[in-house]
Chain A
Amino acid sequence: MRVFSALLLALALASPAAAQTVLIRDGHVVTNGAAGVIENGDVLIVNGRISAVGADIAAPRGARVVEAQGRWVTPGAFAAMSEVGLSEISGSGAPNDAAVSGELIAAAAEAGRAFNPGVTAVAVTRMEGVTRAAIAPAETASLFGGRGALVSLGGGPDGVFRQSAFMVVELGEVGASRTGGSRAAMWPAFEAALRDAREYPGRYRSGQGGAVLNEIDAAAVQPFARGQGMFLAHIESAADIRRLISFKRANPGLRFAIHGGAEAWQVADELARADIPVILDPLSNLPDRFERLSARVDNAVLLNRAGVHIAIAPMPGTVDAHQARLVLQLAGNAVANGLPWDVAFAAVSRGPAEIFGVGAQLGRLERNYLADVVIWDGDPLQVMSAPVAVFIDGVEEPLVSRQTRLRDRYNPLTHPRN
């Protein structure tokens, strides 16, 4: 399974033919790596990858030179959780591939097989500097939310660069509601599901069947139940997080990350020791659910201080298909509440890449990294800033979307009505 994944990744990450040699010159270069920020720095892109980063890089023959003129140059942002590409319009009874209902398929649902790089939200999102996203179904009828994928927002036919990158599992209020309304039933159900998955296909071929999972879902859960993939657990409350930590201690082979974690600050040290990363929402500061009674606006600050690996995304229940571009605003608000800038920016770029296992290819401006590079007209975490150039896999993307077409059609300055 591992070999297969690695192979798939290698194929999917192959550079597109259109990539040119580009030298971005004289930027305020945020490398997200050991080199930190390089003033008057250059970034050389060759064949879709970063070839060099530093000062005074000579332009190779035939290279296109882009003068950054001191502007911010950063890795592309990585939306740590989104439904982008899973619907053109999410409501109104329009087709929405993020919503999986019925009993047949839950864990086996695979977001990457529904991803459509042509939906207009993809262009809307990338032109604001978000070049990659983790996507997953919004919900299913089961404890398991289905398999998530990692996608490029380049709009090309090979948008999915990692299928089955993680398995969403509901282990909080929502999970309880799927298992008879109680956490008392949820954990035994989760354990039984893992047993079903580990014993697939034997118990199904023998006619015994699964205790919890049908055969299709058991097959899908199996690699994760064997520790070959990561469970992304929707968990918010400190009590639930502690249960997850003890569960992980008892099952050291399993891999977990938390999405949500509103009360994670209360168990920050334990999370750091358990090495469980948290994808959190810096705007989650309301007791809007009982599992979020102690949500507080500086959750990210406290987790970071304790050494917990964090990434930033909208909290479960507010992830959507259209506004993944707002992750940079979320990170900016984390800064407003005390998170250091470099940690906040990493939480929407390098952090998600590392949590989802592609940290050696994405999230930094370093040699051999994929050339997702954005040049900004200001600090990317400031709401008033915007990209002036977006490169994905070394290809410059036009800053055009259906929205800019509408804007240009109705701009009162270019089309006065009177």
Chain B
Amino acid sequence: MFSKFHTAVALAAGLALTACATAPEAEDAATPNPFASTYTPRPSIPTLIRGATVFDGNGAEFANADVLMQDGHIAAVGQNLTPPEGAAIIDDGGRFVTPGIIDVHSHLGVYPSPSIEATSDGNEATEPNTAEVWAEHSVWPQDPGFQRAVAGGITTLHILPGSANLFGGRGVTLRPVLGARTVQEMKFPGAPQSLKMACGENPARVYGERNSSPATGMGVVAGYRQAFADAARYRRQLENSENGEGDPPDRSLEMETLAGVLSGDILLQWHCYRADEMANAIEVSHEFGFHIAAFHHAVEAYKIPDLLQRENICAAMWADWWGFKIEAYDGIRENIPFVHQAGACAIVHSDSEVGIQRLNQEAAKALADGRRAGVEISRGQAWTWLSRNPARALHIDEETGTLDVGRRADVVVWSADPLSSYAVAERVYMDGALVFERGGLNERPSDFELGQTYREGAQ
């Protein structure tokens, strides 16, 4: 495992050099793809997992099924599969297999451990619109939290700026690559960036206390609208200049992000707790003609599941957080299942370096509470909240999130039903490569932890 790991790093390093060689030429033209992904899957061998209970991520559950991974992809899911020559065969019996968990809301790397003033890198809280900043430029790849997340079955995560601002900046979809030296080595290839926006209390508090706008809900919405109006003009000027009408506008990183939202190239991930504020946000999206990928921390999504379903907006939710501020006061344990019941896209998210390690338990709580309220939900359906639906909200559902043949082989083998408190991820595969094995020798502490009183097996 150790030598394989070095191969992967060497390969990734080679790609990074290649990327540098094609550096930008023109001074004022945007480079097509700055900070491009240099992620390379680790080498893998064909692997057959036999006789497991399988949640396929699409809502189905198969008993006593096999999962075959080959060339980094899902090759087959079914009964009595024949392993290719040289395949590793996992035949533990009684295990559960699922797609890797995808967390759409994490601050790992931007608010890393240890948490001190110098490492609190997730909020550019200097003005309400910082659409120009990118979370990936704050990500510290050595955050020990990435290793803990993998041990909890996470194979993809979306890192967002904080919620101090109306426009917090761009989010990035990462692989939790243990041993990555650069954030580029972690970037999910081809995954679109997002823009983090925030409703409600946080921006109004942060800027209101400075006696600047926004100080109120009114100021918040006005701030959104003026920025998008400006971005629409910027985008028009760009298009006109491409058609030979006039000069292009001066390059503005802030406007590039907002124009990217208007064109649909950048996904909108919107921190918004309250039902009425989500409705206002939807109005803004109609006025300026963009789509909202997901509302995050949508504590009151259960009040407007019809609206979310109609608008095709996902709701990323906690199972049971509530009461820590007034916009979270109406949190109920049935939020996720009620959104699910309405046919809307329900997602379990963490927003926490602790919660990200056991999102399966959060789904389990939501499932159980939903059933008690009369919502019929299967275990397999509950898993869509953890993998397929977040993949949709991040526009990577053609790549991962289910065990469909051809998808990236992002797979977790659980010691028991992962909706049990007692289940742990025993093996985690990313692109078909074993990246974590419980109690195995391939646990790799981050550089930060090396040489401390850390002991083998501690995590």
| A residues whose Cβ falls under 8 Å from a Cβ of B | 88-92, 94, 120-121, 124, 238, 263, 266, 283, 285-290, 293-298, 318, 320-323, 325-326, 329, 332-333, 335-337, 381-386, 403-404, 406-407, 410-414, 417-418
| In the complex, per-residue mask of B321-335: 1 if CB is within 8 Å of any chain A CB, else 0 | 111111101111110
- Across-interface contacts of B342 in A (CB, < 8 A): 412, 417
CB of B201 within 8 Å of the partner chain: yes
| Consensus secondary structure, chain B interface | loop
A94 to B455, CA, bound (A): 44
Partner of A386, one of B305, B327, B368, B449: B368
A238-B453, A323-B320, A411-B374 known; 18 new pairs, CB 8 Å cut-off, are: A92-B201, A283-B357, A286-B354, A287-B448, A288-B114, A295-B458, A296-B457, A298-B458, A322-B322, A336-B422, A382-B420, A386-B368, A403-B332, A404-B332, A407-B332, A412-B305, A412-B338, A417-B305
Contacts of A412 in B (CB 8 A): 305, 338, 341-342, 375
Is B459 at the interface (CB under 8 A from chain A)?
A: yes
**Would you give 17 A-B contacts (Cβ < 8 Å), ordered by A?**
A90-B324, A91-B325, A286-B353, A287-B113, A288-B113, A288-B115, A290-B114, A294-B452, A323-B320, A381-B421, A383-B420, A386-B368, A403-B322, A406-B330, A407-B332, A417-B306, A417-B342
Q: Do residues A384 and B458 form an inter-chain contact, with CB atoms below 8 A?
A: no
Select which of B114, B338, B353 is within 8 A of A410 by beta carbon: B338
A323 to B116, CA, bound (A): 25
By a CB distance below 8 angstroms, the chain B residues around A322 are 321-324
A320 to chain B, nearest CB (A): 7
**Do A383 and B368 have beta carbons less than 8 Å apart?**
yes
A410 touches B421 (CB 8 A): no
In the complex, chain A residues whose CB is within 8 Å of the CB of B333: 403, 407
Count residues of B near A (Cβ-Cβ below 8 Å). 58
Assess whether B128 is interfacial by the CB under 8 Å rule.
Answer: no
Q: For B341, what are the chain A residues with a Cβ–Cβ distance below 8 Å?
A: 412-413
Cα distance, A403 to B116, chains bound together (Å) = 36
The 8 A-B pairs with the shortest beta carbon distances in the complex, nearest first, are A332-B421, A296-B458, A91-B325, A322-B323, A384-B368, A92-B326, A92-B325, A288-B113
Say whether A407 contacts B364, CB under 8 Å: no
* B224: Cβ under 8 A from any A Cβ: no
Which residues on B sit within 8 Å (CB–CB) of A318? 354
Report if B148 contacts A (CB, 8 A).
Answer: yes
Give the residues in chain B near A94, CB-CB below 8 Å.
Answer: 325-326
> In the complex, A294→B423 CA distance in Å?
24
Query: Is A286 a contact of B145 with CB atoms below 8 Å?
Result: yes
Q: Kindly state the separation between the CA atoms of A293 and B452 in the bound complex, as whole angstroms.
A: 8
B424 on the interface (CB 8 Å rule)? yes
Give B344-378 as 1s and 0s: 1 = Cβ < 8 Å from A's Cβ atoms: 00000000011001100100110111001111000
